């Protein structure tokens, strides 16, 4: 694969540590939530970052597929809910719920655009077949 862009981040201390991108644009403190056996706290979780990244990427994928169809979307809202839990084998895994609002187009057209975006979004492609993703047009 020809790499068009990359970023590097380093985390020290895992889910109770600190992470930064090499260029310093993202700096985040982490804390393990109580639901996973931690003390909770003010820090973010990797799931926070995954949800923000996936929702932003999926929104861009929607703009891309709309552009291929000569449509311009200016009001795209994507919410990502990233859940973590134990799968049937006992290992930790993710579930994802994407809620997409495209008020500029009909529900039918929105569903077609969402389906096409799900095929080109790098996050969707990275987890396809490994993580259950539910997408709802709202």
Q: What pLDDT, on the 0 to 100 scale, is given for residue 17?
A: 96
- How many angstroms separate the CA atoms of 18 and 22, rounded? 13
Residue 80 contacts residue 115 (beta carbons within 8 Å): no
Domain span at 12: 1-44
Among left, alpha and beta (phi > 0; psi -120 to 50; other), residue 64 is alpha
pLDDT class for 88, splitting at 50, 70, 90?
A: confident
pLDDT digits (tens, 9 = 90+) for 49-67: 999 999 999 999 999 999 9
User: Which strands sit side by side in the sheet containing 77-86, from one edge to the other?
Assistant: 77-86, 92-101, 133-137
Structural domains counted in the chain? 2
End-to-end, the C-alpha distance of the chain in Å comes to 35
CB 66 within 8 A of CB 52: no
Same domain, 1 and 21: yes
Residues 102 and 84 both lie in one domain:
yes
50 and 112 co-located in one domain: yes
């Amino acid at each position: 694969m020809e790499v068009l862009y990359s970023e590097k981040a380093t985390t020290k201390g895992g889910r109770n540590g600190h992470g930064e991108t090499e260029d310093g644009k993202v700096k985040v403190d982490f804390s393990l939530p109580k639901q996973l056996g931690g003390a909770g706290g003010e820090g973010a979780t990797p799931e926070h970052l995954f949800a923000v990244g996936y929702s932003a990427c999926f929104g861009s994928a929607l703009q891309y597929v709309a552009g291929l169809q000569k449509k311009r979307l200016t009001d795209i809202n994507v919410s990502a809910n990233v859940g973590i839990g134990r799968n049937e084998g006992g290992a930790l895994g993710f579930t994802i719920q994407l809620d997409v609002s495209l008020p500029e187009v009909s529900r039918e057209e929105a569903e077609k655009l969402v389906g096409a975006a799900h095929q080109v979004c790098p996050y969707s492609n990275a987890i396809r077949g490994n993580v259950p993703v539910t997408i709802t047009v709202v």
